[in-house]
Amino acid sequence: MACHLVIGGSLLLSMLSCSPQANSSLQTGKGAYATRQYRNLFKENGHAEEEVLRKIQAGYQQLFEGDSATQAIYFAAGKNEKGPLAYIYDVYNKDVRSEGMSYGMMIAVQMDKKTEFDALWNYAMTHMYIDQPGHPSEGYFAWSVKPDGTRNSEGPAPDGEEYFVTALYFASGRWGNGQGIYQYKEWADKILTTMRHHPETSGTTKFGPQISGPMVNEEKRMILFVPTNQGRKFTDPSYHLPAFYELWALWGPKADREFWKAAADTSRAFIQKTTHPKTGLAPDYAHFDGKPVTTPFNPNSHHFAYDSWRTAMNWSVDWAWWQKDPKEQELSNRIQAFFASEGLTSYGHIYTLDGKKVSSGPSAGLISTNATVSLASTHPVAKEFVEALWNLPVPHTVGDRYYGGLLYLMSLLHCSGQFKIYKPKK
């Protein structure tokens, strides 16, 4: 069926009925893992490869090497016996987060920046890794610390661990394994084992009593919001990374490979449940059946908000790498149709799931992830989302620099075909 497209005051949502077969070239392969071919969406839009690489490098230089007061999120932090240290700084919240550290490491390995990767990993292991015997979160990373390493929390957030693991596997594949904390594959295996097999542990932290367990719900085969206290009762759709789980099922500890294989399929099915059938929007937090969760500490937890921006990126990368679930293409068409109907230059950044705007004004992070959705989208407007990212300045405001900047750089890498899979060395 042909896609009926009207750009102007609105975009007809008949686009939602567009079949993924509209672009048959995407149906013939098995995804980038099998083909080793990564689409360059910018090149498909007519930009020269050299120009694309310059744009990526310019973004990296500003965010990792730029002015410390107005541009940078990467900061050197001296050295210890293991080598240099550095951290990714959330300039808005004035802390260092496992999310940002792991994203920074992923960007570093994709851009072949081993010195920066090792400095970030050294800081994470020195200041964030919880290795006190008997601590409820032993073997996890504190999700937030001050730049000097003082902990703001003694509990983890799974998105940090998920990206740490995959970045370490890629580092092993790209650079080989070193010694100690730089034995990348050994540490990836260790963290991944802890994520599934962490014992149920109760104890007292400096922030109060804590009960901690695995980062997954074993029965549901699903990642948790957090593995501590009440956070074990629900999930975060943006933490569902089936593209990564497929790799863990191939490379991770053998005893857990079948679990991660099943988790990838579970996440694909969950994403279909938690996204709205008309808009494609997912909530920040959700029950295991996909229904939104309302929490007292996040007033937007039941809305499409900051965490949720990553969800569509995750399923689109899963399609690009594995091509196992064509429904991910349908979802990409659906969510891009929604945002196009809101106006490509004027859509908001927080919405109710059925599409009512809660907070106006586009944000760099959402513009970036919406472009990555074009890896799986099959209709003409996908090119316009890619071009919106191309035209986006490198995020520099206090509110956008950290989160928006990281999503900007990762999306540039995804959309340029420069975000690649590196098989770890043994």
Distance CA 75, CA 129 (A): 19
Largest interatomic CA distance in the chain: 63
Q: With contact defined as beta carbons under 8 Å apart, do 161 and 191 qualify?
A: yes
What are the distances in angstroms from CA 299 to CA 152, 187, 308, 358?
Answer: 21, 36, 14, 11
Distance CA 318, CA 320 (A): 5
Q: What is the pLDDT of residue 379?
A: 87
Q: In terms of Cα–Cα distance, which of 424, 413, 417, 377 is closest to 36?
A: 417
Residue tagged active-site, from 90, 95, 99, 116: 99
Which residues fall within 8 angstroms of residue 24, CB to CB, at 6 or more apart? none
Which residues fall within 8 angstroms of residue 349, CB to CB, at 6 or more apart? 305, 306, 309, 359, 360, 361, 362, 363, 365, 366
Q: What is the pLDDT of residue 1?
A: 32
| Per-residue 3-state assignment (H helix, E strand, C coil) for the chain | CCCCCCCCCCCCHHHHHCCHHHCHHHCCCCCHHHHCCCCCHHHHCCCCHHHHHHHHHHHHHHHHHCCCCCCCCEEEEEEECCEEEEEECECCCCEEEHHHHHHHHHHHHHCCCHHHHHHHHHHHHHHHECCCCCCCCCCCECCEECCCCCECCCCCCHHHHHHHHHHHHHHHHHHCCCCHHHCHHHHHHHHHHHHHHCCCEEEEECCEEEEECCCEECCCCEECCCCEHHHHHCECHHHCCHHHHHHHHHHCCHHHHHHHHHHHHHHHHHHHHHCCCCCCCCCCCECCCCCECCCCCCCCCCCECCCCHHHHHHHHHHHHHHCCCCHHHHHHHHHHHHHHHHCCCCCCCEECCCCCEEECCCCHHHHHHHHHHHHCCCCCCHHHHHHHHHCCCCCCCCCCCCHHHHHHHHHHHHHCCCCCCCCCCC
Assigned token pair, 25: 């070239």
Q: What is the pLDDT of residues 298-341, one digit of tens each?
A: 999 999 999 999 999 999 999 999 999 999 999 999 999 999 99
Q: With contact defined as beta carbons under 8 Å apart, do 79 and 118 qualify?
A: no
Distance CA 238, CA 308 (A): 6
Which domains does the chain show, CATH number per domain? 24-71+234-420 (1.50.10.10), 73-218 (1.50.10.10)
Among positive and negative, which fits the CA dihedral 219, 224, 229, 230?
negative
Q: What is the pLDDT of residue 244?
A: 99
Distance CA 262, CA 329 (A): 21
Residue tagged active-site, from 307, 325, 328, 387: 307
Bridge partners for 79 per DSSP = 84
Q: What is the pLDDT of residue 362?
A: 86
CA torsion, ordered 402, 407, 408, 411, to nearest 10 deg: 160
Q: What is the pLDDT of residues 103-134, one digit of tens each?
A: 999 999 999 999 999 999 999 999 999 999 99
Listed as ranges, residues in the chain with pLDDT below 50 are: 1-28
Q: With contact defined as beta carbons under 8 Å apart, do 376 and 329 qualify?
A: yes
Q: What is the pLDDT of residues 124-161, one digit of tens each?
A: 999 999 999 999 999 999 999 999 999 999 999 999 99
Q: Is 307 a catalytic residue?
A: yes
